């Protein structure tokens, strides 16, 4: 059943650029980006039990990495951009994580929030380096050395770039699937369930939290590079705390207790936001109201709703 659902979704996503309007296809790109970022985010939140309110920091590092590499250093290879931006995020995550993983719950959340805001101020104030509030332009990358110069921007995004990102999402999802089902993943779950007991069973709690944090930073940065290439711009808003909040929102919306929840949450959020923004200027209010309803009525998110419906259908 699960497998059938995954295959069907993949087929729809593969066919989408040929059947849907380009506008909707360009909406799917940020959904891919967030889906990748949330795979990492949820390793920390759903699997390790640490809720970060600052992970937009790493999304922003990915975006600025793409911007600096493409506009300032002339690096056009998307593979290189992904790798270098991801490693930059991991490097930045080391000090953040070293300090943050000493704490749990709200203290962890507040510390990560503080780091996120610190980076946001840095992007905002160091105008010469970061372009201040306007940010830095992100140039179109080459994919496997191919620049696709013949295609205009939209054709590039909804064509080769779309498929590249889909393949990236699938590859990174498989890697994450293996991680959460590995012995390492089981240790993370043990840390989430009972860190003290885990310690007495020889689990290096802080060290593993650190590794989970670094992996999550890498995934968020990959998501950030895709976002930036899609909009052609890296700006400080990406690092703002509300953006970190959106990562939490999407994860809770989809359901953090499930592997696929955050992926579904990313897609649902992007389309919900786009539809609500088109329908009303009070879209933030409605998004908030939906989140409240989900948390109160369906703490397991959309996946939980789906599972409940499925059991009902099967019983009927």
- The residues of the shown chain that bind another protein, judged by CB under 8 A, are 175, 178-179, 181-187, 189-190, 193-194, 196-205, 208
Helix H, strand E, coil C: the string for 258-309 is CCCHHHHHHHHHHHHHHHHHHHCCCHHHHHHHHHHHHHHHCCCHHHHHHHHH
The nearer residue to another protein, 104 or 143, going by C-beta atoms, is 104
CB-count burial class (<10 Å; 0-12, 13-18, 19+) for 174: exposed
3-state secondary structure of 256: coil
The nearer residue to another protein, 133 or 193, going by C-beta atoms, is 193
The nearer residue to another protein, 157 or 191, going by C-beta atoms, is 191
Shortest distance, position 59 Cβ to another protein, whole Å: 23
Shortest distance, position 174 Cβ to another protein, whole Å: 10
| CB distance 301 to 294 below 8 Å | yes
| CB distance 66 to 238 below 8 Å | no
Shortest distance, position 203 Cβ to another protein, whole Å: 6
The nearer residue to another protein, 20 or 180, going by C-beta atoms, is 180
Shortest distance, position 201 Cβ to another protein, whole Å: 4
The nearer residue to another protein, 155 or 257, going by C-beta atoms, is 257
| CB distance 81 to 225 below 8 Å | yes
The nearer residue to another protein, 192 or 243, going by C-beta atoms, is 192
Q: How far is CA 23 from its chain centroid?
A: 21
Task: Output the six-digit token pair for 181.
Answer: 């089902």
Task: Output the six-digit token pair for 60.
Answer: 């922003």
Shortest distance, position 237 Cβ to another protein, whole Å: 33
Shortest distance, position 206 Cβ to another protein, whole Å: 10
Q: Which of 114, 119, 140, 116 is nearest to 130 (CA)?
A: 119
């Amino acid at each position: 059943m699960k497998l059938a659902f995954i295959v069907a979704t993949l087929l729809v996503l593969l066919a989408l650029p040929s059947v849907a309007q380009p506008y909707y296809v360009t909406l799917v790109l940020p959904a891919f980006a967030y889906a990748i970022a949330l795979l990492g985010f949820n390793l920390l939140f759903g699997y390790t039990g640490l809720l970060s309110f600052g992970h937009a920091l790493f999304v922003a590092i990915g975006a600025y990495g793409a911007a600096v590499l493409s506009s300032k250093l002339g690096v056009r290879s998307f593979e290189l951009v992904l790798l270098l931006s991801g490693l930059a995020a991991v490097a930045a995550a080391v000090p953040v994580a070293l300090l943050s993983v000493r704490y749990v719950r709200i203290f962890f959340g507040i510390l990560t929030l503080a780091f996120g805001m610190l980076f946001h101020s840095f992007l905002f104030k160091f105008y010469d380096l970061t372009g201040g509030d306007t940010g830095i332009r992100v140039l179109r990358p080459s994919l496997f050395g191919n620049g696709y110069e013949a295609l205009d921007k939209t054709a590039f995004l909804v064509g080769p770039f779309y498929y590249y990102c889909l393949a990236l999402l699938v590859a990174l999802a498989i890697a994450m699937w293996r991680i959460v089902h590995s012995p390492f993943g089981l240790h993370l779950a043990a840390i989430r369930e009972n860190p003290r007991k885990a310690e007495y069973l020889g689990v290096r709690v802080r060290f593993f939290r650190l590794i989970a944090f670094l992996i999550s930073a890498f995934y968020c940065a990959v998501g950030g590079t895709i976002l930036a290439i899609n909009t052609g711009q890296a700006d400080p808003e990406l690092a703002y705390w509300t953006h970190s909040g959106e990562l939490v929102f999407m994860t809770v919306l989809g359901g953090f207790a499930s592997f696929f929840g955050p992926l579904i949450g990313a897609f649902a959020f992007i389309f919900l936001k786009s539809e609500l923004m088109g329908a009303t200027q009070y879209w933030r209010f409605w998004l908030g109201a939906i989140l409240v309803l989900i948390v109160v009525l369906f703490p397991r998110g959309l996946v939980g709703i789906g599972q409940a419906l499925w059991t009902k259908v099967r019983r009927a």
